[in-house]
A and B are shown apart, each in its own frame.
Chain A
């Protein structure tokens, strides 16, 4: 069940990425976490553009975690691009925001994000977040069956 998956994390705050990785370590979960620090790099990664053209080194992710506010193509812009892309639109995207503002959540859902989660304020919550993401998006179900919502 606990097969290693790849999660692409688009996050401009490196501290938040460390805490998220820490949450997965505490779980403990061994998924590969790839960090890019803006939406543009995430887009390049997903398309396999240089410097991410080697798919052995830069595997296509099973899940995209997205901060809505980033420089150079923010999370919402990236969601719009993904929606309009025939192949990439199937990739599950979870928006991980530090904003408690409800309109953000609505926008994210409208643009096709599967979930909108608020970044935890402590490590135990980060661990729970990692476990939740794992159960909802990264556990292999019957091949071909859709992911649980």
Chain B
């Protein structure tokens, strides 16, 4: 009985003590957080509230330092110790300068004298205890706690980022090299393949001019065959070169007058006049590579004139149409048209729908158009029906 009484007294006093504490916390005399919930009040004291911050700082993937104005490290987290390969107890109390290359020390000094509350992040290299370097980003923030001035420093390891940057740089260097190789190749194609061709063409012409009378008609027809083959190869080389040139990056984007360009191109076709050609005037200006687009329009016009059935007079119409912020240039012909199943592949390299000798070509004209227009951020397409002519379009950004 006596024992029970003592126990009750003890519990009472503990309860009173607890209530006192709670009241003190509530009145703000003690730092803690009281959270009222369905299971009663939960108390987070100062010690408890500090825990998440400690864990956050200790376990974060960035190194963290606290410095006093002379650069002495008051606090460092585990990550900084790992990055600097220095035991934590050796880090704390030492100068932060020792973790950076000597030639950077004056800059570190400047940082500590700054009056800016936050310094913009900078790239540095951290020197570890074993002498190795690690690329890092430093973010400095000046702070004052209980009247003591200091700095907090966040050290982010950039090794991973640097590696991907390097890999990216390497890839783009390789691409550049491959581009150069391609350009060198097209130079060779242009020069070395044209030379023997010129000999063939030239000497066949001499034979025909000088000895044509002495040769029978059969012999002359053979020479004609050689001549036309050589001409075809010459066109092919010319187009391959033009195609490679379009893929280069040397074209500059500019604003220019589409109408003017079309008229100039049409003028280069002396047989086109009056009823054969119609340009619906517009004052449209587009953004693109003028030379490349000129080549495209020229190719489309060339096709419109080439792919007509025998006996039909070609008739070409150009007009423009505004479509939400862009401009579509239409080129309509009255030619042989394209089957729906072929319309998808006509823009492919070396793709030829008509292998008919009457419609000879290299299979590069439309792929050139597509490539050039897409490089300008535009699109190409075609509407066509077999026998009913075709309508090709190029869509570009309006100026």
Interface string of A94-124 (1 = CB under 8 A from B): 0001111100000000000000000111110
| CB proximity of B264 to chain A, nearest CB, Å | 20
Measured between alpha carbons, how far is A97 from B234 in the docked complex, in Å?
15
Dominant secondary structure at the B interface: helix
B137 interface contact, C-beta 8 A: no
B191 interface contact, C-beta 8 A: yes
A62 interface contact, C-beta 8 A: no
B187 interface contact, C-beta 8 A: yes
Dominant secondary structure at the A interface: loop
Q: Which residues of B contact A33 (CB under 8 A)?
A: none
Could you tell me which B residues sit within 8 Å of A by CB distance? 186-187, 190-191, 194-195, 197-199, 201-203, 205-206, 209, 234, 238, 241
The residue of chain B having its C-beta at the shortest distance from the C-beta of A15 within the complex is B199
Contact between A123 and B209, CB atoms less than 8 A apart: yes
| CB proximity of A46 to chain B, nearest CB, Å | 25
Q: Which residues of A contact B191 (CB under 8 A)?
A: 69, 97-99, 101
Contact between B190 and A101, CB atoms less than 8 A apart: yes
Could you tell me which A residues sit within 8 Å of B by CB distance? 13, 15-16, 18-19, 22, 69, 97-101, 119-123, 126
Q: Which residues of A contact B190 (CB under 8 A)?
A: 98-101
Q: Please name the 8 residue pairs, one residue from A and one from B, whose CB atoms are nearest each other, closest first.
A: A15-B199, A19-B202, A99-B191, A123-B205, A98-B194, A100-B190, A101-B187, A98-B195
Q: Which residues of A contact B194 (CB under 8 A)?
A: 98-100, 119, 121
Number of A-B residue pairs having CB atoms within 8 Å of each other in the complex: 53
The residue of chain A having its C-beta at the shortest distance from the C-beta of B241 within the complex is A100
Q: Which residues of A contact B209 (CB under 8 A)?
A: 123
Contact between B198 and A123, CB atoms less than 8 A apart: no
Measured between alpha carbons, how far is A16 from B195 in the docked complex, in Å?
8
Contact between A98 and B187, CB atoms less than 8 A apart: no
Which residue, A69, A119, A121, A123, has most C-beta atoms of chain B within 10 A?
A: A121
Measured between alpha carbons, how far is A18 from B190 in the docked complex, in Å?
21
| CB proximity of A37 to chain B, nearest CB, Å | 14
What are 16 A-B pairs with beta-carbon distances under 8 A? Answer: A15-B198, A15-B203, A16-B198, A19-B202, A22-B202, A97-B191, A98-B198, A100-B190, A101-B186, A101-B190, A121-B194, A121-B197, A122-B202, A123-B205, A123-B206, A126-B202
Measured between alpha carbons, how far is A121 from B237 in the docked complex, in Å?
12
Q: Which residues of B contact A13 (CB under 8 A)?
A: 195, 199
Given A100-B190, A100-B238, A101-B187: A122 touches B195 (CB 8 Å cut-off): no
Q: Which residues of A contact B187 (CB under 8 A)?
A: 99, 101
Q: Which residues of B contact A99 (CB under 8 A)?
A: 187, 190-191, 194
| CB proximity of B243 to chain A, nearest CB, Å | 12
